[in-house]
Amino acid sequence: MSNLRNVSFNDLFAEVKRRYECTKRPAMNVIMIGPPGSGKGTQGPKIKDDLCVCHLATGDMLREAVAKGTELGKQAGDIMKRGDLVPDELVIGLIENNLSNPECERGVLLDGFPRTAVQAEKLDQMFVSKQMSIDRVLEFAVDEDVLGERIEGRRIHQASGRSYHLKFNPPKVEGKDDATGEPLMHRKDDTREALGKRMASYHRDTKPILDYYRQHGNLRTFNATAPIKEVEGHIEKALYSNMI
Ligand code: AP5
């Protein structure tokens, strides 16, 4: 309550209205899958707000652990910088620990998880035990030629994971996060060299799990090379209509 007293009436009303609007939409569990730079982190906050679900982004959680210097961060930091995948058990633990958060009551938006067959199997088990189901898997299909420029121009707000681009999605004030005014940073793995490794692991480890979801009929694939606003439209269709 004491926190709420510090929130302006207008902000509080807008939040209540947003949550009320969510009650008219179906509760959903959604997975975003796409190569590095395909737009998951850009679209995630809007999907989260539209559906009133929690946004569990393993990359953001790992970067937070690295920044705080936790045991997990010490194990993951160098692996991430190289562009390799962090061991399955570490990321599975992150998801397991967060799935029961009150914020996840209406559903969950998974960003960057699962990324391997082992993670996909474990997720199925977690969902079965919680009587949850995967309603949509969104595949960000992107022309790989655009990814280098997207990665090099990306700037992020470390605390929230909000993603900007110097050319395609600049912040209102150069170098500052729109919501907090805090400085933006360039990710250590946003280099052409690490991108090569991340793409290789996307093709080797992650793409095969798309077939698994395709067979289950909940995969929706759309053109993520399009401008950001257009991709938003593709996602709305993918979420709310049965065919795209
Ligand atoms: P993670 O943080 O998940 O990185 P990623 O999957 O490689 O994805 P990115 O964050 O690079 O891309 P994005 O799709 O979010 O793109 P964005 O929207 O920012 O993982 C980082 C590392 O953590 C991994 O390499 C691994 O080491 C580890 N890790 C994480 N999860 C793991 C797991 N499950 N298992 C094992 N290891 C794990 O967009 C990019 C840029 O393009 C931005 O600047 C944006 O403004 C711009 N942009 C976005 N959309 C458009 C558009 N339509 N047009 C023009 N510009 C656009």
Query: Sorting pLDDT into bands at 50, 70 and 90, what band is 85?
Result: very high
Is the shortest distance between the CB of 86 and ligand 1 below 6 Å? yes
Which of residues 78 and 2 earns the better pLDDT score? 78
Residue identified by tokens 């930091």 is: 77
State percent of the chain over pLDDT 70.
Answer: 98
What is the phi-psi region of residue 167: left when phi exceeds 0, alpha when psi lies from -120 to 50, beta otherwise? alpha
Question: What pLDDT score does 244 carry?
Answer: 39
Better-scored residue on pLDDT, 55 or 25 = 55
User: Which amino acid belongs to residue 131?
Assistant: Q
The verdict on the CB of residue 165 being under 6 Å from ligand 1 is yes
**What local confidence, expressed as pLDDT, does residue 207 receive?**
96
Run of H or E residues at 20: helix 9-22
In the predicted model, what is the mean pLDDT of residues 83-107? 94
Instruction: Single out the catalytic residue among 154, 155, 162, 220.
Output: 154
pLDDT in tens, 114-171: 999 999 999 999 999 999 999 999 999 999 999 999 999 999 998 888 999 999 999 9
CA distance 189 to 81: 5
Q: What pLDDT sits at residue 1?
A: 46
* DSSP H or E run through 64: helix 58-68
Atom of ligand 1 nearest to the CA of 87: 36
Q: Within its chain, how far is the Cα of 211 from the centroid?
A: 20
Confidence class for position 243, pLDDT limits 50, 70, 90: very low
Mean local confidence (pLDDT), 65-92: 94
Mention every residue, 6+ apart, whose C-beta is less than 8 A from residue 124: none
Q: Could you write out the DSSP letters of every residue in 25-47?
A: SPP--EEEE--TTSSHHHHHHHH
pLDDT at position 123 is 97
> What tens digit of pLDDT does each residue of 195-227 get?
999 999 999 999 999 999 999 889 999 999 999
Residue nearest to atom 48 of ligand 1 (CA): 39
How far apart are the C-alpha atoms of 25 and 15, rounded to whole Å? 16
What integer best gives the mean pLDDT of the chain?
93
* pLDDT beyond 60 at 6: yes
